[in-house]
Amino acid sequence: MVALTGRGRSRRVTALALLGAVALLSTACGVGSSVLDRDLLVIGVKPDQPGLGMKQAEGEFAGFDVDVATYIAGKLGKNARFVATPSSEREKVLMDGSVDLVVATYSITPERKTKVAFGGPYYVAHQDTLVRASESAVAGVRDLKGRKLCQVTGSNSWRRVKEERKIAVELVQAASYSECLADLKAGKVDAVSTDDLILAGFATADLKIVNAPFTDERYGVGIQAGDLDGCEAVNKAITEMYLDGTAKKLLQKWFGKSGLALTFTVPQFEGCG
Amino acid sequence: MAVVVPTTGPAPAPSPSRALRLRTVPGRIRAGAGVAILAVGLLSALMGVALAHAGDGLQAIGHTAGPQVVATADLYFALSDMDAQVATVLLAGEEGRPGRQAALNRYDQRRAQADSAVLQAADLARGDPTGQMTVRAVLDGLGRYERLASRALLLDEQAPHAAGPPSQPALEVYRQATDLMRLDLLPKAYNLTLDSGTVVRHAYAAESSAVLAGRFWVALGGALVLAVLVALQVFLTRRFRRAINPALLAATVVVGVLTVAGILVLQRASDELRTAKEDGFDSVLVLSRARAIGNSLHGDESRYLLDPQRADTYEQVYLDKSQSVLYVPGGNLDKYYAAVDQSVAAFPGKADFLGFYGSEADRVTLPGQREALAKVLTRYQQFQRDDRQMRQFATTGKNGDAVRQAMGTSFGAYDAALVELTAQRRQAFDAAVAAGDRALDGWNLLLPGAALAAALLILVGVRPRLAEYR
């Protein structure tokens, strides 16, 4: 009997010791590198997209993407530092680890998913059409037939109209969407077609969004491939952002005045694994 | 005795009486036997903890959370099929009267399925307030959806029409219903499945690393006990100039066999756990998602015909979903059809596609699985060909033909092949879980029994030697 009680006690003690050892072991080799291990998150945003990510004169960034990223970092219990990330470098900076998260109108696509992972989408934008407020004959993308559409160098949005939908538009070149807007107001083009959130960022009283969406652009939170824990934490944060009403507040704050039909319910996530 | 000394650390505390006892031969024998029995106890504790982890892992993946996750994946399918059935009824019009009741029955069936899946999801979300709120939101939304859907159906009955778009009032109510479903309920249902998949992933990661660590500790513990027993044996042989002590030898054999068997069973359990997770569970989940999305794909065909004003949107959504199921580059449907034809023809020689089927093609691990996947892909290709035909009918004004084409059999055939492939994976999953359970079976008796036997043998072994000093 002596042996038995001794064994019982030693079992408890060793079980405790073992649990400690196992916990140490699993934290040591279980997690590779996750954004959850960092104290400060470096977050890539756009520097030149009004309403989404815009660098201010004081060097701060402001916009919907920036607010979403701040919220996510807060939910993860981290501080955030924002850096301007050009579209062409989004995969590169995530893969080399110089940026932890990218929240920069970053559409989730299968090709990109071969290189990086995506939390979210935090919003599903749609390609839509912006016209002058006085325009009454354009109710949808098909009504652009025979009209002048702004074509921004390097952007694919015009292809969705002219090539994918085979609508006979007349393309007018411009260097940027800001230039398109000026052309639209000046009457040099009849319509600008791209993601509705981008259009909403530009919208002013003399312009209107047609509200006839014809694509889904799923804006995701780019994260290093393989960081499942980080990606799942981001998804949880986005779910909470919609549940606690922050998403609605932020969408209205940045795009409410544009007259755009906004969606206030959580988007369908891409999945981390 | 060198090996014994460090481990006796806690036992012979610096109390003077004990130190005194260790100087006498019977004292040393007693101490040696005590240390050996303690070491056996330690080994059985280590093994018990590791086996418990293996059991917990199998329990979570094989019996509780795992199957529940698969059930929540059915939620998405059930919901999207409810909406597809409503679209079918609205689209069919007068000539589709016979099929109307069948579609409505299927709607009720899916509704019941959705209800039970919501219950599973609620159960999985215990302890996760965010998940619980999502489940509640899905329930609320489902009630609203049902009201809208029945109003749309009622309005449709009041305004008979030929196959094709229903009356404007019916269409407007249906738009609200389908928007609620597609933009609000389905995303939430999908996210719930992903969330509960996370629960399983965490359980798996924690338990399987605990089992592997446990295997290491069991090996170490076993080596320690063996060393103690050998040392005791050597001490007794030298001190008493006797041949080998048979009881101690038997104890050594028992401990050795127990250790090796323990390591093997832990290895086995961890292998089966991995098979169940990676070859079974992960695939079943991916395929359930593919099936759910595929089903809403079929619904998008009906909606495309149902609502000409939104036809562009539904066509684009159809393309996006098709690409998440089987991704090949192609900016528009025409290019996509062509690319699908090419990639499916190249399979199984080459799998140059991504998406759900891409990830499934990447982990062909079961016999017959490649063939089953090839069959799914061929039927998917046929479904896409019929879709192309349907859109051609629709754009050339042949509405009736288009509706008949959309309601053709190619989707059902594709879905059946997918169900078959999923069943194969499900079998692998069940088999691995059962094998794991079998491997662990009996250890709850075997382990304490063997440990007790070893302890008794040690006592039996030292008893005659101690008797010599009485």
Q: How is chain A split into domains, by residue range?
A: 35-123+219-258, 127-209
Q: Give A15's contacts in chain B (Cβ within 8 Å).
A: 45, 48-49
Strands (E), B137-259: none
Structure tokens at B370: 């490649």
Which residues of chain A are modeled with pLDDT < 50? 1-16, 18-31
Using CB atoms, pick whichever of B41, B198, B332 lies closest to residue A6: B41
Judge whether residue B11 has pLDDT over 80: no
Count Cα atoms within 13 angstroms, Cβ side, for B194: 25
Domains A35-123+219-258 and A127-209 share a fold: yes
Asked if A15 reaches chain B (Cβ–Cβ under 8 Å), the answer is yes
Number of domains in chain B: 1
pLDDT at B21: 63
CATH class of A127-209: alpha beta
Is residue B156 in some structural domain? no
Q: Which residue has the tokens 């479904």?
A: B383
Q: Give A214's contacts in chain B (Cβ within 8 Å).
A: 312-313, 316
Asked if A269 reaches chain B (Cβ–Cβ under 8 Å), the answer is yes
Contact B46 A29 (CB under 8 A): no
Give the Cβ contact number of residue B308 at 10 Å. Answer: 14
Using CB atoms, pick whichever of B38, B186, B331 lies closest to residue A159: B331
Nearest residue in chain A measured CA to CA from B46? A15
Q: Give how far A192 is from chain B: nearest CA, Å.
A: 18
Q: Is A84 helix (H, G, I), strand (E, B) or coil?
A: strand
Asked if B99 reaches chain A (Cβ–Cβ under 8 Å), the answer is no
pLDDT at B453: 93
For the stretch B405-421, pLDDT in tens is: 888 888 889 999 999 99
Q: Give B352's contacts in chain A (Cβ within 8 Å).
A: none
pLDDT at B354: 86
Q: What percent of chain A has pLDDT over 70?
A: 88
Predicted confidence band of residue B377 (pLDDT cuts 50, 70, 90)? very high
Is residue B463 in some structural domain? yes
Predicted confidence band of residue B17 (pLDDT cuts 50, 70, 90)? low
For the stretch A44-54, pLDDT in tens is: 998 888 888 88
Q: Average pLDDT of B200-226? A: 91
CA torsion angle B62 B63 B65 B71 (round to 10): 100
- Classify residue A146 by burial, with Cβ atoms within 10 Å: 0-12, 13-18, 19+: exposed
Contact A216 B354 (CB under 8 A): no
Q: Which of A13-27, B184-198, B204-218 has the lowest mean pLDDT?
A: A13-27
pLDDT at B10: 43
Judge whether residue B198 has pLDDT over 80: yes
Q: What percent of chain B has pLDDT over 70?
A: 94
pLDDT at A2: 37
The span from the CA of B270 to the CA of B204, in Å, is 10
The span from the CA of A131 to the CA of A184, in Å, is 7
pLDDT at B330: 80
Q: Average pLDDT of B231-240? A: 87
Asked if A145 reaches chain B (Cβ–Cβ under 8 Å), the answer is no
Q: Average pLDDT of B100-126? A: 87
Judge whether residue B208 has pLDDT over 80: yes
Q: Give A159's contacts in chain B (Cβ within 8 Å).
A: 331
CATH superfamily of this structure's domain A35-123+219-258: Periplasmic binding protein-like II (3.40.190.10)
Mutation to test the A interface, candidates B190, B196, B362, most A Cβ within 10 Å:
B190
pLDDT at B94: 76
Contact A110 B327 (CB under 8 A): yes
Predicted confidence band of residue B367 (pLDDT cuts 50, 70, 90)? confident
Q: Give B354's contacts in chain A (Cβ within 8 Å).
A: 110, 113-114
CB within 8 Å of B415: residues ≥ 6 apart: B291, B294, B295
Q: What is the extent of the structural domain holding B353?
A: 19-70+199-467
Give me the total of CB pairs closer than 8 Å, taking one residue from chain A and one from chain B: 124
First to last CA, chain B: 24
Judge whether residue B2 has pLDDT over 70: no
Q: Average pLDDT of B300-327? A: 88
